[in-house]
Amino acid sequence: MVLFPNAKVNIGLYIVNRRNDGFHDIETVFYPVQSLTDILEIVPAKDSEHELTFTQTGITVDGPWESNLCVKAYHLLKEHTRLPHVRIHLHKQIPMGAGLGGGSADGAFALKALNQLAANPVSHQQLLEIALKLGSDCPFFIENKPTFATGRGEVMQPIELDLSHYHVVLVNPQIHVNTGKAYSQSIPKPATTTLMQLSVQSIDTWKESVFNDFETVVFPLHPEVEAIKTELYRLGAVYAAMSGSGSTVFGIFKELPHTLNFNQDYFVHIG
């Protein structure tokens, strides 16, 4: 089977508490970006002596293949049910370390696909619990709908938020931001906006009321990321913000500008 794990953006992200387990409690809205995807192929391999064969093309992923979340998804799910031998191929198109959740999407989509191949598929709730072991964003990609999330991101409530009448422009300066380091430098504080209300709040008010706490950490370290946000507003975005811990900045436009002034060193996606 062939799947298309999609990116996400965070519309608002508040770091509200540093937990005793080393993680942080957040409040955010995850919004899926269906127009930007990786490509994931998973097929049974009855003739293979190896239980799992993994290959990867596209954007180069650093580190051993065993650390890929698709591979980890296989081994985690195998603890709960019998899986066939499989071949997994991942074609990577979503930038990494970019705040777009590409790796989390790959792992979550692999979990869902592998569960379909399992001898005794686990329940949806079990799948969410296994996804959380992969990463804090992974449960969202099991649902893959606009979601208000708290806790580590795993306590989810669906919201009615539809941006299909807008254009979403993603700009990534190809700076890798270490999420753990960004969290360690953050200062948790109560959320300033009730993000559950986004669906009934005019998008024209978001600029003054919806914020990403990671911007206060990343912008001083990487002024070029802040410059992207400034440029998107100059081009006419009704809302612009960094997604996740960066370094991608997204702009929401009612009408696309005639030109996007970003050179070839930037990754630019229009959805």
Distance CA 266, CA 271 (A): 16
Question: Residue 202 to residues 161, 193, 197, 250: CA-CA distances in angstroms?
Answer: 11, 13, 10, 18
Residues in a beta bridge with 229: none
Helix (H) or strand (E) holding 220: helix 215-221
Contact 91, 39 (CB under 8 A): yes
Whether the CA torsion 141, 215, 238, 236 is positive or negative: it is negative
**207 in catalytic set:** no
Catalytic residue among 92, 137, 213, 229: 137
Catalytic residue among 8, 92, 112, 229: 8
Pairing of strands 39-44, 86-92: antiparallel
**38 in catalytic set:** no
Q: At 238, is the secondary structure helix, strand, or coil?
A: coil
Torsion on CA atoms 253, 230, 171, 270, rounded to nearest 10: 20
Distance CA 248, CA 228 (A): 9
Q: Which residues does the annotation mark as catalytic?
A: 8, 137
